[in-house]
Chain A
Amino acid sequence: MDPLNASTDYERIFHPERIAIIGVSGKGAGFGARLFYSLRAIGYAGEIFLVNPKGGQLDGHEIYESIEAIPGGFDLAIIAVAASAVPEALEACRLKGAAAAEILSAGFSELGTPEGMALEKQIMDVAARGIRVIGPNCFGMYVPKSGLTVLPGPDLSREPGPVAFSSQSGGMAVDFANMGKSTGLTFSKVVSFGNGVDLRETELLDYFGQDMQTRIIAMYIEGVKNGDAFFKTLKKVAAHKPVIVMKGGLSAAGSRAVLSHTASMGGSARIWEAILKQANAVQVFDMSEMARTCLAFTHLQPGTYRHISVLGGGGALGVAAADAAEAVGMKIPPFSPDLKTRIDDLLPRPGSSGANPVDVANPFVAPQVLKDVLLLAAEDDRIELQILITLFHHYKTIAQMMGMPVKDIVPYNELAVGVAEVIDKTSKPVVLILNNPKRGLDHMDVVEMIEEARRAFLKRGIPVFDDLKEAMGAIGHINAYYGGKTDE
């Protein structure tokens, strides 16, 4: 098994004070120069040293002609030279005392050529002598706290948060970091490790398990290097932190020619499902499900939420809510007649219903009323979590009549303040659904208003989802994780 390498200085890797970028064109083109721009755009505050044998300058920054010429040492190297020059550059970085190098260059084992394989082997040999390697063929790391960012990530958020993400695919890493920015996820560390010759899934998982800044671990996996080590580490880490895994490339059938039914049915899809369940990890099947699940784990306290109330409106609310809840083993218990009557009294008539789910019948019910309904519903001792479905898009009609921008008339701020008070008073979480079927070009004002609203709720620690069913799926994952844990 791959134990956490005690000699690895993760602090220097993730929070480097001095970075060397090896392979920077003075013309500003290429990976090296682009990453330099990205680091400056996101506001990395440490020192950056540029290296290119031709020397010269880039935007007033001196380009050193060799790694050796850099004055003093550096913590992290970012290598973006041609594949054939990588081993030598890596060795020079090691001699300079760098803790790690992220190698953006491609042209290694992913080509499947003997030359590519041989070069990758040389990288491994240098790494074994005492420098950690991320990559090659990767986008690098994104660490909001230190201002480290991936190649296409000049505009990512600097707000640190509890989610760590490791990914074999650089594209997935960038996409997830971007999704995070738009859905309210915040990160401790995002690592794209590409071919993963050295530092890769199992060791990163082990590290994230111990990292004080990481509460939630997400992983995109194509293959693991050592199944036994991965499983043991996953089981160990998932026992105290949620680990959310998306496995790419699953097949239903076993790959080899086999005689038994057991082997023919044991394809990678079933085995991975089994492995993840056995370790009490959470399996998701696409990146947006992963983002929603991480968001739910970010904002909801550890525990299970099996009995919920649903308040709001929308098409066939009662049926849709019941179906979605049942699919993930949650219940929407009807309120007592007394409680129902007290809720009914607050709601506009006719068309509303104070039973659970509570149909408010009208998208323009005042935030104060919604707040009072939430407070009443929370009086039912069985209720562990409340879901509030808003229909803000309906305000567009009113905005047009009044000749005002829609975002100026939707009371999302007032509602966000009210919901936060409810959560405070009742100690029961509220999850918000920002339902919006108006997303076309003629409704960009609605889209903008919805995003403003999302921000207002997220700012107060209220998780926001676009869809009731998706929210319940994410909460279902929380129940499965903490339910599986308490069985220990």
Chain B
Amino acid sequence: MNKDAALKIINAARHRGRTMLSEYEAKKVLCHYDIPVTREKLITERRGLEYAVHEIGYPLVLKGCSPDIAHKTEKNLIRVDIRNFDEAVHAYGEINAALDGASGGVLAQEMIPGRRELVMGMTRDDQFGPCVMFGLGGIFTEILEDISFRKAPIDARDAMQMMQEIRGRKILDAIRGMEAADTNALAEILIRLGQIGLEIDAVAEIDINPVIISGSRPVAVDALIVLRPQ
């Protein structure tokens, strides 16, 4: 874990008056807290595309990545399952057009196979301080609101209870030919999120959505970090 490195990213953004981190920055912060994230490269100019896609490999995902845009799907900024360079060039052009001059760049990231999507997050309650959330992810987060909370700090037992508390808890079991999710690894992420909340005051809210279960292993595929206004 490297709190100072995480703080550096956050302070740099705040220094520029921003109240949000880009996905790329948010994942770096998570990474410094040992939360597994996708392999990815930020492309800020067209000529960087070839090197980036070569590094990540196909199939891959391209996303518009801007600290000004909290929810990318709504802005049509995500292209998945890109299988060759022609597709990458085409997608890159479309995303750049959709970004419409917003600051940032295009993020090339590995495509994580897995059909199970979870959400994890951190929010600050006025009375109880940082609280950690777990639930069904992707589009089901808003539709079902099948979630649970705990006040930070949480221990492994709290984290396991959070996972057992949602109605859709069977999603973590070995089902339909899929392996059981690694609940220890999931618990570890929840514990770390609580730790960020306790250690870094400047972080107001975190969404990791989705966390995709790849095999049994959870990976943070998209992330949003909202900063407290200064």
* Chain A contacts to B: CB under 8 angstroms: 223-224, 227-228, 231, 254-255, 258-263, 265-266, 268, 270-271, 273-275, 277-278, 487
Interface pair B207/A271, CB less than 8 Å apart: no
A256 CB to nearest chain B CB (Å): 8
- In the complex, what distance in Å separates the CA atom of A258 from the CA atom of B228? 11
* Chain B facing A: main interface SS: strand
Q: Are B133 and A265 in contact (CB under 8 A)?
A: yes
Given contacts A227-B129, A265-B145, A266-B123, 5 further A-B contacts (CB under 8 A): A260-B121, A260-B224, A265-B133, A271-B149, A274-B151
Task: Name the distance in Å between A205's Cβ and chain B's nearest Cβ.
Answer: 15
Contact A262 B150 (CB under 8 A): no
Q: Closest residue to B120 on the A side, CB-wise?
A: A262
Asked whether, in the complex, the Cβ of B224 is within 8 Å of the Cβ of A259, the reply is yes
A261 touching B157, Cβ below 8 Å: no
Q: Which residues of A contact B230 (CB under 8 A)?
A: none
Q: Nearest CB to that of B145 among chain A residues?
A: A265
Tell me the complex Cα distance, A261–B20, Å.
14
Residue of A nearest to B193 (CB): A262
A258, A259, A278: the one within 8 Å of B150 (CB): A278
Task: Collect the chain B residues with CB atoms within 8 Å of residue A254's CB.
Answer: 123
Interface set of B (CB-CB < 8 Å, partner A): 20, 70, 119, 121-129, 131, 133, 141-142, 145, 147-151, 154, 157-158, 161, 165, 204-207, 209, 224, 226
In the bound complex, residues from chain B placing their C-beta under 8 Å from that of A255 are 126
With a cutoff of 8 Å between Cβ atoms, the chain A residues found around residue B133 in the complex are: 262, 265-266
| Interface contact A262-B129, CB-CB below 8 Å | no
CA distance A274 to B165 in the complex (A): 10
Those 5 A-B pairs whose CB atoms lie nearest each other, nearest first: A262-B121, A227-B127, A274-B149, A260-B205, A263-B123
Cβ-neighbour of A275 out of B141, B151, B165, B226 (below 8 A): B151
Q: B20: which A residues are within 8 A, CB to CB?
A: 259
Known: A260-B224, A261-B141, A266-B131. A271 touches B157 (CB 8 A): no
Known contacts A278-B151, A278-B158, A258 near B123 by CB under 8 Å:
yes
Q: List 25 A-B contacts (CB under 8 A).
A: A228-B128, A258-B205, A259-B70, A259-B205, A260-B205, A260-B206, A261-B119, A261-B209, A262-B133, A262-B205, A263-B121, A263-B123, A263-B204, A263-B205, A265-B145, A266-B131, A266-B133, A270-B149, A271-B131, A275-B128, A275-B151, A277-B161, A278-B150, A278-B161, A487-B157
State in angstroms the CA–CA spacing of A262 and B148 once bound together.
10
How far does the alpha carbon of A56 sit from the alpha carbon of B37 in the complex, in Å?
80
